[in-house]
Structure 1
Amino acid sequence: MTRIFITLLVFALLPFSVAGQQTGKWGDQGNGTYVNPVIPADFSDLDAIRVGDDFYAISSTMQYSPGMVVLHSRDLVNWKIISHVVSDLTVINPNLNWDKMDSYGRGIWAGAIRYYKHKYWVYFGTPDDGFFMSTATNPAGPWTPLQQVWKVSGWDDCASFCDEDGQLYFIATHFENDPKNNKKYNIHLFRMAPDGKSLLMESDSVIHQSPGSEANKLFKINGYYYHLFSEVKQEGRVLMMKRSKNILGPWEMRQLNHVNKVLDKEPNQGGLIQLANGKWYFFTHHGTGDWEGRAASLLPVAWLDGWPVIGDPGKDSIGSMVWKVPKPINISNAVKGIQTDDDFYSSALQPQWEWNYQPRAGKWSLTERKGFLRLHAFMPADPAAANILLKAGNTLTQRSLRTTANEVTIKLEVKGMCNGGYTGLTHFSTSGTSGIGIKQFNNSRHLTYMSHHKDRIGPEVKNSIVWLRSVWDFRGINRYYYSLDGKLFLPFGEENQLVWGSYRGDRVGIFNFNTEQECGFVDVDFFHYRYSK
């Protein structure tokens, strides 16, 4: 009793920022307010813009395919996934293909989305392959084939900028510098060719250098050029801004927010947005990730003396995190919650899905059996990793949400399996993998629980249809269940702590591979995802 009382007393004394997180509330509250995060899932390296009455955002995807997710909102609080910029990751690097799978934490990093010259422009970088761009007349796609802007390594966090005279600029960070000075990153500014597909290298200019200076964005507001970026200080990674009447400087500089790794998880990288009514907001990720990854929050912006202060301004004119805020725009019919469910009746995968690496062509289908996702099994390319899910193709994933109650159920038809086949439902990151599924060997199928690359074989399953379920709570404690009739669900395996790894939050996914031969398939009838709103 004493321990419970102390816990409640400590919780009551916590600042609102922490208490708000512990309630598990998030997003649109239905009463004209919202609670951060607005998306309690892994939408990292955000950037956002307004075009008319619509808001668009992009988020990095690393090794997941399709890559660079695009979101849409009408009120900055309720978001939907509408497309991806990159359909084939192997255009960037063959190591992002299903037969390599060795680029966790690499792939598509941060980028920026802009609208000018009657098109949407997305630029992004990878740490190994340089910078790429694509354009679209509709952010829902199609996006033009990927164009490599500059083949280089050791650079990141780029953005484009179109000045009033039509001149295009490109800004990015060089994070691999002289080993004697590797704590300081150089931010470079270039002019671009008129088509935006290449840099004018002779225009290269270093406009800032500091520890960990990244997350670059350029704006022109009221006659000033503003350079927004993040920087590592003693308190953590904070937002900084420089301004000048000339794009090449000289610059004034201010800190825009204070951060705390524990209490607010360092909101930093994001997009600065002005509404039609003149108010400003900052759509950002939380740079310190927990098991759900780097979640998305929306912070109000107050302009003080010509500087945008992010969050709640303090006596020092520097902002701090806010958790409960009036909505910027009230839309009565806003649909709350990001997409999750799929009954696989569409001829295309719903936009919330991303494969772990570029999938193998011809090994999955939505048309071979109408209303089902068919996953064909094949062996991992690396024989030494035959039973390791992180090396297995045909793993289709979604982001795991951090809400008070979460439940995913899939219905599988497994009669098409053959010996060596392994299929099921999984949570995975590079720091921890678990799952429940069906493994076939000696011409019989068995319920199987997987944790940290080790399997526990359960009873034989003679049914051709099986339901698998994962349930997890706000803490990320997950438990698996199975059913043979879709009504009675029984637990199997132990509790697991969901984790993040390689800059990515936990993913929930469906997998099917074979440890012995290229043989067999399963049909997925549905993927139902319930979460508290």
Structure 2
Amino acid sequence: MEDHYYRLSKEGAWGDQGDGTYVNPVLPGDYSDPDVIRVGENYYAISSTLHCSPGMAVLHSKDLVNWAMIGHVVDELTRIGPEYNYDRMNRYGRGVWAGAIRFHKDKYWVYFFTPDEGLFMSTAADPAGPWEPLHQVWAVSGWDDCCPFWDEDGQGYFVATNFADNYNIHLFKLSEDGRELLNDSDTIIHQYKGSEANKIYKINGFYYFFHSEVRLEEGVEVRVVMMLRSEHIYGPYEEKEIIHTHGKEIDREPNQGGLVQTASGDWYFISHQGMGGYDGRPLHLLPVTWIDGWPMIGSDTDDDGIGEMVWGGRKPINGHPPTVLSTYDDFDSVALEPYWEWNHQPRADKWSLTERPGYLRLHACRPIEKGNFFTVCNVITQRSFRTVHNAATVKLDIGGMADGQEAGLCHFAKTYCTIGVHQQNGTRVLKFDHAGSIEWGQVLTGSTLWLRSEWNIDGINRFEFSVDGVHYASFGYAYQLGWGNYRGDRIGLYSFNCESEQGYIDVGQFGYEVARSGE
């Protein structure tokens, strides 16, 4: 094995190490279903967002290691369908699935399927936005994992999986404007159990179809990463496995992702990996070596021409600062920062950055179903990262609360846990709620409250509160952050009222401290 690749890394290490090397993951949070392109000296990636709004995250990097979110493709999930709206919230684990980003005719193009509503696309002159209003290409269910491709003659093609029909992979021609599939061109080019993660490339005169599928290896079903290759787009195709996967506990199954070539000619693979943990499916970077016209992902440890997972290496490009995940938001901007996403489509008249400048005002909404936290609208969230130390602190003005209102800080995925305030009969009381198991705390007489969540690398979370911003006290009991609905844990803010739509809180500050790699 080459000396600049190493398979194991210090627990909790991630990203840029500051010495010309990096450790996987390069982003220790839920950036699922990535795809990546290079335009000039810039790299752009997208990541699926499922039921979160805005949808389809867009990221930027200069070196493939240090990434920052710069926007979203889908401004409103209701452009997809009504089930995403705050009055239904019926798309947990569905919504914006894996897609692809390409640069064509001086524009950025993104295509993706939702499993229920069909195929959508949008374009933009700037990947940070604004993106054109979402266009529904095809109203259909049971399809996913798509990718467009434009050949040298200008003809566009499109590949996708019909998972509802035995995981057949289909190839279509695109209309000239890229807004329609030419259905009479539909051709099935491959089929195998669990086929997904489709990408199409043309490299050195060959067409390459990247995908993954489920195969039996050493008596165990694992997801394997495959490549098809042909001199003609309709085949016939040769097939090769390009990286061994040994299961989630060993290599976390690199799967969805994309190939990208640097300006210097080196190749890399951006992928997500995951074990069903609270960090979701973090972003990883693996080297690619071409052998006899086939890409090999990772490192060839047994000389069989098939790659193995590596956990770090030399940075592709030096000279760019390390990613800083820690953030401090005082809500002085005219728009929310890209790292904020709502649980489903929020109710627009129940939040504001302008009613009280310098604050995020969250009005209380009545839940769809009383006692069901997952039907509380306007829960605003961020990804929970997996590092050795993580802490989120929020400063709240609770003076505008009304009887029946609850508001505070939360974690949620499959289950939920909150620390907040419940007002009744004019009295505000501290409240801890773990999936309906409730503890009551002290009466709060002031109008300012600080709430804090701290968790370690194992995702063991504890809540704290303060009435002066200096002295904090623990409240509630330890909560295990988790995974659910194909999402890692989200940390967020909530405000609801089961009795009436009265009351609000003002969020003055939200600080999120995340340990640098190896700290």
8 Å CA contact 2:389, 2:515 repeated in 1: yes
Q: Which residue of 1 aligns with 2:227?
A: 241
Number of equivalences: 506
- In the alignment, is residue 389 of structure 1 matched against residue 373 of structure 2? yes
Is 1:415 the counterpart of 2:403? The answer is no
Segments of 5+ residues of structure 2 without an aligned counterpart are: none
Structure-2 separation of matches of 1:458 and 1:50: 53
Cα distance, 1:16 vs structure 2: 6.6
Instruction: Return the offset for 1:432.
Output: 1.7
Q: Indicate conservation of the 8 Å contact 1:389/1:453, yes or no.
A: no
Cα distance in 1 for partners of 2:298, 2:264 equals 19
Tell me what 1:231 maps to. 213
TM-superposition CA deviations, 1:278-324 (whole Å, max 9, x none): 10000110054311100000000011111110111232111111112
The match for 2:194 among 198, 202, 212 is 212
For 2:274 and 2:490, the matched residues in 1 are separated by: 18
Residue equivalent to 2:306: 318
Q: Does residue 417 of structure 2 align to residue 424 of structure 1? A: no
Q: 1:357-372 to 2 correspondence within 5 Å?
A: 357-372=344-359
Distance 1:496 1:173 in 2: 38
Aligned equivalents of 2:127, 2:68: Cα separation in 1: 12
Task: Select the residue among 172, 177, 181 that pairs with 1:195.
Answer: 177
Q: Identify the residue that residue 422 of structure 2 maps to in structure 1.
A: 439
Q: Which amino acid aligns with 1:35?
A: V
What's the CA shift string for 1:199-231, capped at 9, x where partnerless?
000000000000000000000000000000011
Aligned to 2:497: 514
**Change over 3 Å in CA distance of 1:406–1:325 after alignment to 2:** same
d(CA) in 2 for partners of 1:88 and 1:496? 32
Equivalent residue letter for 1:248: Y
* Paired amino acid for 1:498: L
Could you report, residue by residue, the CA deviation over 1:112-137 in whole angstroms, capped at 9, with x for unpaired residues? 00001111000000000110000001
Tell whether 2:466 aligns with 1:464. no
Note if contact 1:269-1:287 (Cα within 8 Å) is conserved in structure 2.
no
Q: Give the structure 1 partner of residue 47 of structure 2.
A: 59
Q: Deviations over 1:217-257 (max 9, x none)?
A: 00000000000001111241121000100000000010011
Distance in 2 between residues matched to 1:69 and 1:234, nearest whole Å: 34
8 A Cα contact 2:18 2:322, kept in partner: no
For residue 494 of structure 1, give the secondary structure of its aligned residue in structure 2.
strand
Structure 1 window deviating more from structure 2 (474-483 vs 263-272): it is 263-272
Q: Is the 8 A contact 1:159 1:217 kept in 2?
A: yes
Instruction: Tell me if the contact between 1:54 and 1:73 (Cα under 8 Å) persists in the aligned partners.
Output: yes
Could you tell me which amino acid in structure 1 is paired with residue 234 of structure 2?
A: L
TM-score normalised by L of structure 2: 0.96
Is residue 239 of structure 2 the alignment partner of residue 253 of structure 1? yes
1:82 Cα deviation after fit: 0.5
Answer yes or no: is the 8 Å Cα contact 1:292–1:402 preserved in 2.
yes
Asked whether the equivalents of residues 404 and 474 of structure 1 are also in contact (C-alpha less than 8 Å), the reply is yes
SS in 2 for 1:499: coil
- 2:111 is the counterpart of 1:111: no
For 1:24 and 1:231, locate their aligned partners in 2 and report how far apart those are by CA, in whole Å.
30
Asked if the contact 1:469–1:482 (Cα under 8 Å) also holds between the matched residues in 2, the reply is yes
Q: Which amino acid aligns with 2:276?
A: G
Q: Deviations over 1:433-469 (max 9, x none)?
A: 0010001112100000010133222111111000000
Instruction: After superposition, give the CA deviation of every residue in 1:354-379 in whole Å (9 maximum; x if it has no partner).
Output: 00010001110111111100001020
Structure 1 counterpart of 2:271, one-letter code: T
Given that 1:161 and 1:218 are in contact with CA atoms closer than 8 Å, whether structure 2 keeps it comes out as yes
The equivalent of 1:497 in structure 2 is: 480
The one-letter code of the counterpart of 2:156 is: L
Q: Is the CA contact (8 Å cut-off) linking 1:211 and 1:232 kept in structure 2?
A: yes
- How far apart are the structure 2 equivalents of 1:290 and 1:266? 13
The reply to whether residue 265 of structure 1 matches residue 247 of structure 2 is no
* Counterpart secondary structure, 1:463: coil
Which residue of 1 is the match for residue 434 of structure 2?
451
Give the percent of matched residue pairs that are identical in Structure 1 and Structure 2. 55
Instruction: Determine if contact 2:279/2:488 at 8 Å carries over to the other structure.
Output: yes
CA-to-partner distance for each residue in 1:454-512, whole Å, 9 max, x for gaps? 32221111110000000000000000000000011100000011000011000000111
Q: Secondary structure at the match of 2:83?
A: helix
| Paired residues of 2:326 and 2:512 also in contact (CA < 8 A) | no
Aligned mates of 2:387, 2:226 — CA distance in 1: 31
For the 8 Å contact 2:331–2:360, the answer to whether it is kept is yes
What is the TM-score when the length of structure 1 is the normalising length?
Answer: 0.93
Q: C-alpha offsets along residues 5-40 of structure 1, whole Å, 9 cap, x if unaligned?
A: xxxxxxxxxx974x52x5200000000000000000
Cα distance between partner residues in 1 of 2:82 and 2:377? 14
Aligned match of 1:346: 333
Alignment of 1:157-176 (within 5 A): 157-176=145-164
Query: Are the equivalent residues in 2 in contact too, given 1:340–1:352 (CA < 8 A)?
Result: no
Contact persistence 1:79–1:338 (CA under 8 A): no
Once residues 282 and 20 of structure 2 are traced to their aligned partners in structure 1, the CA distance between those partners, rounded to angstroms, is 22
Rounded to whole Å, the distance in 2 between the matches of 1:425 and 1:156 is 34
State the secondary structure of the residue aligned to 1:95: helix
Do 1:81 and 1:339's aligned partners in 2 also have CA atoms closer than 8 Å?
no
What is the CA RMSD across the aligned residues, in angstroms? 1.2
Amino acid at match of 1:88: E
Paired amino acid for 2:439: R
The question of whether the paired residues in 1 share the 8 Å contact of 2:325 and 2:514 is answered with no
1:335, distance to aligned residue in structure 2 (A): 4.1
Structure 1 runs (4+) greater than 4 angstroms displaced = none
Contact 1:428 1:508 (8 Å CA) reproduced: yes
Q: Does 1:531 align with 2:517?
A: no
How far apart, CA to CA, are the structure 1 residues paired with 2:206 and 2:418? 53
Does structure 2 conserve the Cα–Cα contact (< 8 Å) formed by 1:265 and 1:289? no
Point out the more displaced range, 96-105 or 286-295. Answer: 286-295
Give 2:57's aligned amino acid. Answer: V
Q: Which residue of 1 aligns with 2:14?
A: 26
